[in-house]
Structure 1
Amino acid sequence: MLGTKMHLLLLILLLGFMVMNSAQPQCDPLTQYADVNGDCCKMCGPGTRMSSFSLCQDPQCVECRDNEYQDEHTKNTVCRRQRYCDPNKNFQVTDHKNKKERSTCLCQEGFHCSSAECITCVPHTTCTPGDGALFRGNHTLDTVCQKCPEGTFSNGSSWGGPCKQWTECESGDHIQQSGTDVSDNICEANRNHHILIGVIVLVVLLAALGVVLCIAYKGQRDDARGKVKGCFQSCWGENRELLRETTVDMTQPTAEEELLSHPQEEGAGVPEENEDHPSYEKTSDGLFSDNGNVVTQDIGISSKLSRQESQPHTLTGDPPLLNSDNS
């Protein structure tokens, strides 16, 4: 009997609850809310807050202030505070310009979060010489180091530097010292290469010098050849004329031929007698002095000299004088 009464009571309560739910309106849980009267009212969108003087269907929404945010629709009258990124905890200084979502504090370069909550940042692991960074650390993960494999090296400490490849020597060079995991290859130029370069430079210089000397020699030879040719043309021609003009007949004519060919020639007449020079007397055989000596030979020479003086010539200087006074 008692059990039957309890079942009837539960059924009545269930029916009453169903009637009450069917009487209330169905509101959008993302953009609406139900007021005390059971009406569905509008909420303010992300990045804003609701003013205290808002109406149900026409709320007054106000933008969040600096360092505040609202990432969903709300009927609240205040915005949420952005997180403070403390540089003393190795966080980057962040300017919170986005008011529609919560900003994330980022660790400084070379640091990562110490935990999932990222309450503070800690330095990355440093790779020592001989080791390189296999994975470079970021905001959330630490650096992972590895030993440099063959053909690579790392000569410094770094949290993000990978192992570097050994240097390959260029053509004509050779490896003076092979690299290790902490040092690079050391290349050195071959001596034969230097000698070859020196020989090529020397040959080029000698060729250039030979060209210059050849040009200079050719110019001097042409100039000397022109001078010699001009000298021969001028001097040889003048000498031929000089020899032709100064040719002298060395035969001695007789006194009678001299008198007949030049009866009025200067110096061929009878010389005047004076105290210094003896007088001459003309005869059919020749000329005689006051002492009776024959001077035919002297007269021939005198006539010959007089004849030479009358002929044109180009020789400089006066002809030598012959003394007609025979002692």
Structure 2
Amino acid sequence: MTSFFFFFFKSGVALMKVQECTPTSNTICSVLPGYFCVESSGSSCTIGQKHQSCSPGQFISRKGNAKEDTQCENCPEDTYSNGTLTECKHHTKCKSQGLKEKRPGTRAVDAECTEHTNTAAIVAGVIITILLLAVVVLIILNKRKLQEGLRNLHHKDTPSQETTLTRVAQSRESSGTEDVTTPLGNV
């Protein structure tokens, strides 16, 4: 029976020798650190198994030992663990730190915070800039129309050379004099 235990020890089933075999006792084996015994014979372990790892979102509720596996439990609401913690941590409260929550926490990861960006101020600045540009464009367009209107008005009030000559000729014919010129507005 001694060689039986020695065979398991040599085949790499997570065991280590605790006591060599003697004429009156078999080799006594125990599990390596990080393992627990799943099968034994007397006081010797014959098969060891690696402790389970808790998944993200779980915490280690009972650490494994040579006789028992690690026990995992799910994190309660508003807490998280990466799977290696012995208790879940509370999510960071971004607002209480004057920060904005970029990504809410889950049972596996903490909340992610970021600096506040004043979106309202940025939007207001863009709107004001657009309005100012629109006002400037309207002023320029109105100024051009006003100048154009004044030019047209000036051309209506100022008689052309042809109109003046026609009036002078009509005036000469009706009065019988030859040197009378009257501006358009005074006839």
Q: TM-score range by the shorter chain?
A: 0.3 to 0.5
TM-score by length of 2: 0.41
Say which structure is richer in strand.
2
Radius of gyration: which is bigger?
1
Compare relative contact order (CA 8 Å, sep 6+) and give the higher one, 1 or 2: 2
TM-score by length of 1: 0.27
